[in-house]
């Protein structure tokens, strides 16, 4: 395969993911998460090209009925939690590189947002960085710490998206990353929740998350960056440890032996049952689609009956049946809020993120951003008020006699 065909092949996969899953509508504002790595760099290039073509079509069109989606780029600054002391000027240089890369992409104005992890702790805290360090420091398990930081990264992106009125968040997660996640989640006991994270679309969040490079391998993306001389940075390429690191090195060895193994893992996971939030189902969502695609989505919408999953307080994974049972039992006999918070954590987070000593729970939850625990408070309040209403309608036993 020549360079041009290879590039067209990858772009075709990207475009097919976007169109066949209705990832981006003309009215959308898309925020691309950019780390500087090969995958997000390719995602930036490809989504920019789609935008360029849309702009050209829009300008050439007489009707100008539909707008073109807008695009922004977000970089998450994780200096606060990087244990190895990284010079500040290196981060600053990286940020300048990102700005120049983005400004070089035209047509279409694109804003660059630099988000810090500690901004997630904005409400009610003066020293956010110190608080972030403390909460991460409480987590003793390496894998748990890694997963917690990933969660914070997503929350940081959500915050930027909400504040700047973006309607979609696009990640550069590719097939190789998803394959690693499949094995990691299996090893962590998250088999029930695993399908939630391996689909093209995830609407659990306020701003839905889409993965357009879902079917592209990391190897292919690396190669494309070399061919096209796309500049990448290894700034955040630090070796992750624990289960995630072990699985990552394992998958690397599998790839060396059989390059299609990652796709096999991905295909296996895609045969598991996705959740209702793994596709867009809001009324009228598909109205702007080309008419030939609309019937497919409309049929899906009609058939699906949506029910709300209980999600883990920390990692957002759907609860399995046994976790739901445990939660219901705790609700009945919960004495303190801490017990409710604890019961709203999945078993994996319970083991690897919550402190080992139970008397540390209160301290840990007090460090978390308020809006995390506020969800549980709100759910708990509505639950108890519902119980009060039921009690009002019950007849006293004495009246019956």
**Distance between CA atoms of 69 and 361, rounded to whole angstroms?**
44
Nearer Cβ to other proteins, position 265 or 313? Answer: 265
**How far does CA 345 lie from the centroid of its chain?**
18
In eight-state DSSP terms, residue 290 is: -
**Shortest distance in whole angstroms from residue 328 CB to other proteins:** 14
Locate 195 and state its tokens: 């399908």
Of 68 and 175, nearer to other proteins (C-beta) is 175
> Is 183 within 8 Å of 265 (Cβ atoms)?
yes
The least CB distance from residue 143 to other proteins, in Å, is: 7
CB 382 within 8 A of CB 348: no
CB of 84 to other proteins, least distance (A): 21
Residues lying near other proteins in the complex (CB under 8 A) are found at: 142-143, 182-183, 185-192, 194-195, 242-243, 246, 250, 254, 257, 261, 264-265, 267-269, 271-274, 320, 322, 347-348, 350-351, 356-357
Residue placing its CB nearer to other proteins in the complex, 162 or 357: 357
Query: d(Cα 287, Cα 15) in Å, to the nearest integer?
Result: 19
Task: Please report how close the Cβ of residue 309 comes to other proteins at its closest, in angstroms.
Answer: 13
Cβ at position 321, least distance to other proteins in Å = 8
Nearer CB in complex with other proteins: 192/277: 192
Supply the minimum distance, in Å, between the C-beta of residue 272 and other proteins: 6
**207, 243 contact by CB (below 8 A):** no
Verify cis geometry, omega within 30 degrees of 0, for the bond prior to 107.
yes
Q: Smallest distance, Å, CB 222 to other proteins? A: 23
Smallest separation, CB 359 to other proteins (Å): 10
Closest to other proteins by CB, 189 vs 295, is: 189
Instruction: Cite the DSSP H helix spans in 37-127.
Output: 38-60, 88-103
Backbone angles phi, psi at 266, to 5 degrees: -65, -45
> Residue 185 belongs to what H/E stretch?
helix 175-187
- Cβ proximity to other proteins, 192 vs 365, nearer residue: 192
With CA atoms as reference, report the closest residue to 149 among 57, 240, 279: 240
Residue nearer to other proteins on the CB measure, 162 or 325 = 325
Closest to other proteins by CB, 71 vs 327, is 327
Q: Which residues of 175-214 are buried (b: 16+ CB within 10 A; e: fewer)?
A: bbbbbbbbbbbeebebebbbbbbbbbbbbbbebbbbbbbb
Cβ pair 72, 32 in contact under 8 A:
yes
- For residues 260 and 255, give the distance between their C-alpha atoms in angstroms, rounded to a whole number: 7
């Amino acid at each position: 395969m020549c360079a041009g065909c290879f590039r067209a092949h990858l772009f075709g996969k990207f475009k097919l993911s976007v169109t066949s899953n209705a990832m981006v509508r003309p009215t959308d504002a898309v925020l691309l998460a950019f780390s500087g790595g090969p995958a997000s760099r390719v995602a930036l290039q490809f989504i920019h090209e789609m935008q360029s073509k849309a702009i050209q079509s829009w300008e050439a069109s007489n009707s100008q009925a539909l707008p073109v989606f807008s695009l922004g780029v977000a970089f998450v600054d994780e200096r606060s939690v990087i244990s190895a002391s990284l010079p500040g000027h290196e981060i600053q240089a990286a940020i300048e590189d990102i700005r120049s890369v983005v400004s070089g992409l035209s047509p279409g104005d694109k804003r660059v947002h630099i988000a810090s992890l500690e901004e997630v702790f904005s409400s009610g805290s003066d020293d956010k960085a110190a608080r972030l360090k403390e909460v991460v420091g409480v987590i003793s398990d390496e894998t748990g710490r890694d997963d917690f930081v990933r969660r914070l990264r997503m929350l940081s992106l959500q915050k930027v998206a909400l504040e700047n009125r973006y309607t979609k968040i696009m990640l550069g997660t590719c097939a190789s990353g998803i394959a690693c996640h499949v094995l990691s989640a299996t090893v962590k006991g998250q088999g029930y929740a695993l399908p939630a994270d391996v689909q093209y679309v995830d609407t659990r969040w306020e701003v839905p998350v889409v993965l357009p490079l879902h079917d592209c391998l990391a190897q292919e993306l690396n190669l494309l960056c070399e061919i096209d001389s796309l500049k990448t940075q290894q700034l955040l390429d630090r070796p992750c440890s624990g289960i995630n690191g072990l699985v990552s090195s394992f998958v690397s060895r599998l790839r060396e032996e059989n390059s299609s193994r990652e796709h096999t893992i991905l295909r296996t996971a895609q045969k598991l049952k996705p959740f209702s939030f793994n596709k867009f189902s809001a009324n009228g969502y598909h109205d702007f689609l080309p008419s030939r695609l609309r019937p497919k989505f409309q049929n899906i919408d009609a058939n699906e009956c949506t029910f709300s999953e209980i999600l883990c307080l920390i990692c957002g994974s759907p609860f399995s049946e046994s976790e739901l049972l445990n939660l219901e039992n705790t609700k009945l006999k919960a004495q303190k809020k801490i017990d409710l918070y604890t019961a709203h954590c999945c078993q994996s987070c319970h083991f690897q993120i919550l402190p080992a000593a139970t008397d540390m729970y209160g301290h840990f939850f007090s460090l978390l951003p308020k809006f995390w625990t506020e969800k549980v408070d709100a759910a708990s309040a509505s639950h108890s008020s519902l119980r009060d209403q039921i009690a009002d309608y019950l007849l006293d036993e004495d009246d019956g006699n």
